[in-house]
Amino acid sequence: MEQDERRARRLWLGTLLMASLCFLMLLANPVEAQERQPRQKTESPYFFVKSDDPSVDQLPLKATAVDVKIAGVIADVRVTQTYRNEGTRPIEASYVFPGSTRAAVNGLTVRLAERVIEAQIREKQKARQEYDQAKQEGKTAALLEQHLPNVFQMKVANILPGDEVQVELRYNELLVPQAGSYQFVFPTVVGPRYNSPRSEQAQAAWVSQPTLRAGVASSAAFSMKLAIDTPIAIRELRSATHAIDVTQGDEGRHAQVALARSGEPANDRDFVLDFRLAGEHIESGLMLYPGQGPNAENFFLAMVQPPRSVPAEAVSPRDYIFVVDISGSMHGFPLDTAKAMLQRLLSGLRPSDTFNVLFFSGSNRMLSPHPVPASRANIEQALEVIKSYSGSGSTELIPALRRVYEEPKAEKVSRTVVVVTDGYVTVEREAFELVRRNLSKANLFAFGIGSSVNRELIEGLARAGMGEPFVITDPMQAAREAARFRRMIESPVLTQVHARFEGLDAYDVEPHALPDVLGERPVVIFGKWRGQPKGRLVVQGQSAEGPWHQALPADSKSLRPDAVALRSLWARHRIAALQDQESLEGSGSLREDITALGLRYGLLTQYTSFIAVDQVVRNTTPGASTRVDQPQPLPKGVSELALAQPASSGAEVPGTPEPETLGAIAVVLSMLAMLRRRARRNDGRRLTS
């Protein structure tokens, strides 16, 4: 009996010791979000303090001049940065600046006194090596790199006292219209960034660029001028961010825009220019850019722009197939939200429309053997069936999509496929290829519903299907996103759109199949052409009044020697497609292909940079040169509190204990409960004995 009591006491003491250790672990590591190591002050911009050393020019960037030429939906932008060393010591200027997320940077030129150095496109690491070597040898050099799609850095080495160096970079971008309105944005300042230690940019030096204090304007001058040329008359042109002066001509197809004089800085906020091209009727235009040189490639751009607004009687009937994921992962909030959204979408259909619903999980089935009219009775029946599903089974997306594209449809009716899923599949590449191959049969819109949607699938499906992605993470968003979808697809002006070239030798045409002309976006066709500018482009489709076609002559009047931006469009489109594919196959899998296109077409990519080197050794003591980081202004409306402070100055967000700590506590509590039961049994035996 005494031996049992001693054993029990030892177990109790051991258990209490384990519980105490677990408690200490919980105190030492209270929240899952807490860092393993003490946090240091985060990398962040710091306030610029001008040095008292008069020998070093701390503000070498003296001016930025922006020259923009917009041809149709393509912008050709030239940014000239002027650096001047007004100190007495050689310097290396470093300047971090923003860019458009759609920018395709395709050229860099350096002007030093009477010399002009055209930069060469190089593989990124090779460009860095050339720049570092030139700097060490005392040669003036410029290096342009991309840190993020919208953050670039310019470095100019060996700027001697009295030097003025002009660096001109050039880029193109596609202006994506929304609701008939085009928008050109030129960012002027990189705002302060909070740099998380877990970020890929955690060690990036560009994040620590100096920033001017609030209310302190940049000493660098800023100017901008734009020339807009379109095949369709410009109806509206305005800027909500800056005062502008506008001059129009050529029956409204040409406009000159410049910044108006004002008393406030122009380079502490984005410049935004909005304009419309839509008229009362469908208008089309063709631009031909002839390449320079015997082996140069020629490029073209054709655009079909829908009217600004479409009367109800002008809208063609449309067929919809809703592809609804009812697998197990959709159970609960995702499927409940999908049901609410589908109710809004179906209720918004017109009686002249037809629809069907395909439900899929491990298998799939159609609501009806064939599309049915969007009558009230059919819609109510469909909604009752949708409400009966609760979500179970696997997620077989590919068979569902194949069945959709095998469904017959009326010849003169345009079809829209709407996929509703959380995207929890691993068949992204196969799905994208399937949608691309069947683009002539239907366009596709994708709705991702859930708190952690597979955005790669949702965005990729919409991109492949010439549609739009929608992501709903909150039930309150369902109504808004459904309304946005309706606005986009309820105004088809032309369906079954086709283009053919007669007499013009066109090739490498993008895209391969044309989507419907909707009320909120135009159709853009681009590619290459050979031979003489002759023949015509015929665009045809089906409108509410019947067949529609328009012939666009390809002749000398269509030639646009100034539309050099068209050259980059095709290459940029191919590179973007390769980047999408690379994201599926893994980082670096298409590095060689992307690099080859970047080098051939002179485009800045994640694998290529621009390097310009003056071969004259100008700085005989390169070791005495000092680096200067050009400060930038605090963005307008942003306070100094935007600059990060040490983590100790703020409270941590409460969290939950680590899983391993909770597990240890659970084990200890289980042992305590077991020993307690054993002690009670022993007490009972002693009493009965």
Per the structure, the count of domains in the chain is 3
Which spans in 602-658 are helix H? none
User: In sequence order, what are the residues at sequence separation of 6 or more whose Cβ sits closer than 8 angstroms to the Cβ of residue 80?
Assistant: 63, 64, 65, 66, 67, 166, 167, 168
What is the mean predicted confidence (pLDDT) over 98-109? 85
Residue 402 and residue 340 in one domain: yes
For residues 329 and 448, state if they share a domain: yes
CATH number at residue 381: 3.40.50.410
For residue 42, pLDDT beyond 50: no
111 located within any domain: no
233 near 275, Cβ under 8 Å? Answer: no
Return the top range by mean pLDDT from 13-22, 23-32, 274-283, 622-631.
Answer: 622-631
Q: For 657-683, what is each residue's pLDDT tens digit?
A: 333 434 444 444 555 555 555 655 555
- Give the C-alpha separation, 548 to 540, whole Å: 6
Residues 386 and 342 reside in one and the same domain = yes
Query: What is the tens place of the pLDDT at every residue in 328-347?
Result: 778 777 888 888 888 888 88
Shared domain for 355 and 477, answered yes or no, is yes
Start-to-end CA span in the chain (Å):
12
- Tens of pLDDT along 203-253? 667 677 788 887 888 889 999 999 998 877 888 899 988 999 999 988 788
User: Do 354 and 407 lie in a common domain?
Assistant: yes
Lowest-confidence pick of 35-44, 143-152, 560-569: 35-44
The CA distance from 422 to 442, in Å, is 22
Q: CA–CA separation, 160 vs 137, rounded Å?
A: 14
**CA-wise closest residue to 488 among 525, 515, 514:** 515
73 part of a folded domain: no
* DSSP assignments along 571-585, one per residue: HHHHHHHHHHHHHHH
Which amino acid type is present at position 470?
Answer: F
Q: Is 417 found in the same domain as 322?
A: yes
pLDDT given for residue 590 in this prediction = 84
Please give the residue range of the domain that contains residue 502: 283-311+495-539+553-558
Calculate what percentage of the chain has a pLDDT beyond 70: 75
Same domain, 532 and 434: no
The pLDDT score that the predictor gives to residue 664 is: 45
654 contacts 31 by C-beta, under 8 angstroms: yes
Question: Which has the closest alpha carbon to 305: 545, 520, 551, 536?
Answer: 520
Amino acid at the residue 330: M
Number of other residues whose CB lies within 10 A of the CB of residue 531? 11
Greater confidence, 174 or 128? 128
- Angle at the Cα of 339 from the Cα atoms of 357 and 322, rounded to 5 degrees: 25
* 422-442 pLDDT tens trace: 877 777 778 888 888 888 888
Does 304 reside within a domain?
Answer: yes
Clarify whether residues 383 and 403 are in a common domain. Answer: yes
**C-alpha 380: how far from its chain's center?**
39
Tens digit of each residue's pLDDT (9 = 90 or more) over 568-579? 888 887 787 677
Q: Which residue has the higher pLDDT, 185 or 358?
A: 358
Q: Is 534 within the bounds of a domain?
A: yes
Structure tokens at 488: 């986009």
Single residue among 447, 465, 489 that ends a domain in this structure? 489
Average pLDDT of the chain, as a whole number: 79
- 463 pLDDT band, cuts 50/70/90, is confident
pLDDT tens readout for residues 315-328: 677 899 999 988 87
Asked if the structure places residue 448 within a domain, the reply is: yes
Q: Are residues 482 and 375 both part of a single domain?
A: yes
Structure-model confidence comparison of residues 665 and 549, the more confident one: 549
**Residues 372 and 291 grouped into a single domain:** no
Regarding whether 336 and 293 lie in a shared domain, the answer is no
- Name which of 123-132, 232-241, 471-480, 634-643 the model is least confident about: 634-643
Higher pLDDT, 469 or 646: 469
- Asked whether residue 611 is assigned to any structural domain, the reply reads no
CA distance 602 to 107: 7
Whether 389 and 522 map to the same domain: the answer is no
Sheet containing 536-543: which strands, arranged edge to edge? Answer: 495-502, 536-543, 546-553
Mean pLDDT of 262-273: 86
Over residues 360-392, the pLDDT tens digits come to 888 889 999 999 998 989 989 888 888 888 877
Look at residue 243 in the predicted model and tell me its pLDDT: 93
Around 425, how many Cα atoms within 13 Å sit in the side-chain half-sphere?
A: 27
d(CA 224, CA 66) in angstroms, rounded, equals 5
Specify whether the CB–CB gap between 327 and 319 falls below 8 A.
no
Residue at 485 is within a domain:
yes
Q: CA nearest 407: which of 317, 298, 321?
A: 321
Radius of gyration of the chain, Cα coordinates, nearest whole angstrom: 32
Cross-strand partners of 540: 498, 549
- The answer to whether residue 13 sits within a structural domain is yes
Residue with the bigger pLDDT between 241 and 647: it is 241
The whole-number average pLDDT for the span 267-282 is 76
Instruction: Calculate helix-pair angle for 659-688, 2-28, nearest 10 degrees.
Output: 160
